[in-house]
């Protein structure tokens, strides 16, 4: 839930016993998930929440027992909203977004936000299942993919990116970013509706193997040791094996998960295969994946502006599909010629490869 709630910004969780930490925490909203049938818990909650109640922070209570007594108890503790603990995650995220004043009620932006929240909630369940070894929730993945595709069809990539940057969790940010880029790119390339669904689904799942990589390595600040790098480089194979073990995933999805770090010149991993064995959909995903990593803010690196990130793709030369990179430029830089000219200097886009 903490990860899912990060769609609205940084989220921390506390145990009720951490009274001092709760009192010292500053936040825009408090979500309280406690057993209010226990008088000792109620007493502790009253003390822990008091400074925030005085400060006017809104409380949202999740109750496992929705009896009138427990609801009254929650209200007495200062609840502004009371929901059953079993509330579906998208509905919970909507309520939290509304309480924070971040969720628009109407208009095209509101629709985009709701799609983003849906996709984000689907990711929460997906990563949770992947990390714990449960079967991946195929229907939820499908719902998330549909939301991303509709967002891309609206051709409002900027609005999607604004929402992605608000998300506090780097893994989510990356998956939502790559998926949004792939959906927009597939749209630009004229993929059929069915093919767009398929390739966006592959993008959603491309890094699923990272759910099994220790978090202290994934989130490490500073350079990785060769051993740590080797562990991270296992994620395509791990992800592929997870999907094969579960069964029912399209060959394109399996291929993308396994081969999204392969390069056309054979310098990629895990297999070092070359252009003849790297399909077009995988090439599309690889371009979006690298571009996303370049424009993301990470603890160990500054984000690159879109133009500079695109110049890096161009500079990779024969590792990536040059024709696809060119079209991708039109997706991320708007009118490629004018904006690329600014990035690469007065010589203009024709010199892109030489500059690189
Ligand atoms: Fe990856
Ligand atoms: Fe990735």
pLDDT digits (tens, 9 = 90+) for 55-89: 888 889 999 888 888 888 888 888 888 999 988 88
pLDDT-based confidence at residue 350 (cuts at 50, 70, 90): very low
Residue 169: pLDDT over 80? no
**What pLDDT, on the 0 to 100 scale, is given for residue 313?**
97
C-alpha 210 – ligand 1 centre gap (Å): 8
Architecture of domain 2-99: 3-Layer(aba) Sandwich (3.40)
Residue 209: pLDDT over 50? yes
pLDDT-based confidence at residue 278 (cuts at 50, 70, 90): very high
**What pLDDT, on the 0 to 100 scale, is given for residue 116?**
78
**286-342 pLDDT per residue, tens:** 999 999 999 987 777 788 989 999 999 999 999 999 999 999 999 988 744 433 333
Under CATH, to which class is 108-303 assigned? Answer: mainly alpha
pLDDT-based confidence at residue 206 (cuts at 50, 70, 90): very high
C-alpha 207 – ligand 1 centre gap (Å): 5
Q: Give the number of whichever ligand sits closest to the CA of residue 290.
A: 2
Query: What is the percent of the chain where pLDDT is above 70?
Result: 90
C-alpha 234 – ligand 2 centre gap (Å): 13
Higher pLDDT, 207 or 219: 207
Q: What is the mean pLDDT of residues 210-232?
A: 89
**What pLDDT, on the 0 to 100 scale, is given for residue 147?**
81
Place of tokens 């094996």: 241
C-alpha 192 – ligand 1 centre gap (Å): 25
C-alpha 234 – ligand 1 centre gap (Å): 9
C-alpha 289 – ligand 2 centre gap (Å): 5
C-alpha 212 – ligand 1 centre gap (Å): 12
**What pLDDT, on the 0 to 100 scale, is given for residue 338?**
37
C-alpha 283 – ligand 2 centre gap (Å): 13
Higher pLDDT, 337 or 174: 174
C-alpha 239 – ligand 1 centre gap (Å): 9
Average pLDDT of the chain is 84
**What pLDDT, on the 0 to 100 scale, is given for residue 125?**
79
**What pLDDT, on the 0 to 100 scale, is given for residue 309?**
95
C-alpha 349 – ligand 2 centre gap (Å): 27
Q: Give the number of whichever ligand sits closest to the CA of residue 240.
A: 1
**Pick from 100-114, 181-195, 229-243, 282-296: least confident:** 100-114
**Pick from 102-116, 145-159, 163-177, 189-203: least confident:** 102-116
Q: Give the number of whichever ligand sits closest to the CA of residue 178.
A: 2
C-alpha 174 – ligand 2 centre gap (Å): 7
C-alpha 86 – ligand 1 centre gap (Å): 33
Rounded (10°) angle between helices 108-132 and 170-188: 120
**Pick from 66-80, 201-215, 261-275, 326-340: least confident:** 326-340
C-alpha 197 – ligand 2 centre gap (Å): 18
**What pLDDT, on the 0 to 100 scale, is given for residue 111?**
74
**Pick from 172-186, 230-244, 257-271: least confident:** 172-186
CB 256 within 8 A of CB 202: yes
C-alpha 4 – ligand 2 centre gap (Å): 19
- The residues spanned by each domain of the chain are 2-99, 108-303
Residue 347: pLDDT over 80? no
Q: Which residues place a Cβ less than 5 A from the ion ligand 1?
A: 207
C-alpha 284 – ligand 1 centre gap (Å): 13
C-alpha 193 – ligand 1 centre gap (Å): 25
Q: Give the number of whichever ligand sits closest to the CA of residue 171.
A: 2
pLDDT-based confidence at residue 245 (cuts at 50, 70, 90): very high
Q: Which residues place a Cβ less than 5 A from the ion ligand 2?
A: 207, 289
């Amino acid at each position: 839930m903490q990860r899912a709630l990060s769609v609205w910004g940084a989220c921390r969780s506390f145990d009720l016993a951490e009274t001092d930490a709760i009192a010292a925490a500053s936040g825009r909203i408090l979500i309280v998930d406690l057993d209010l049938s226990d008088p000792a818990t109620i007493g502790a909650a009253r003390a822990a929440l008091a400074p925030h109640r005085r400060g006017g922070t809104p409380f949202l209570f999740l109750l496992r027992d929705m009896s009138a007594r427990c609801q009254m108890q929650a209200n007495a503790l200062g609840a502004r909203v009371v929901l059953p603990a079993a509330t579906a995650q998208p509905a919970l995220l909507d309520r939290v977004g509304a309480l924070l004043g971040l969720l628009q009620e109407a208009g095209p932006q509101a629709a985009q936000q709701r799609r983003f929240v849906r996709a984000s909630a689907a990711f929460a369940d997906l990563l949770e299942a992947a990390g714990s070894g449960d079967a991946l929730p195929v229907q939820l993945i499908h719902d998330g993919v549909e939301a991303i595709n509709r967002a891309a069809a609206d051709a409002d990539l900027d609005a999607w990116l604004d929402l992605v940057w608000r998300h506090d969790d780097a893994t989510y940010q990356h998956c939502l970013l790559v998926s949004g880029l792939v959906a927009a790119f597939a749209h630009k390339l004229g993929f059929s509706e069915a093919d767009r669904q398929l390739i966006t689904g592959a993008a959603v799942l491309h890094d699923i193997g990272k759910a099994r990589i220790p978090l202290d390595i994934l989130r490490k600040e500073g350079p990785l040791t060769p051993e740590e790098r080797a562990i991270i480089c296992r994620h395509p194979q791990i992800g592929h094996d997870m999907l094969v073990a579960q069964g029912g995933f399209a060959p394109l999805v399996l291929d993308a998960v396994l081969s999204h770090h392969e390069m056309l010149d054979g310098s990629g991993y895990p297999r070092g295969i070359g252009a003849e064995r790297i399909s077009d959909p995988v090439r599309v995903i690889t371009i979006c994946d690298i571009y996303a990593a370049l424009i993301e803010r990470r603890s160990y690196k500054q984000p690159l502006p879109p133009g500079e990130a695109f110049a890096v793709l161009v500079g990779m030369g024969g590792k990536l599909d040059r024709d696809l990179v060119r079209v991708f430029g039109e997706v991320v830089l708007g009118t490629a010629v004018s904006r690329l000219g600014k990035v690469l200097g007065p010589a203009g886009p024709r010199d892109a490869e030489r500059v690189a």
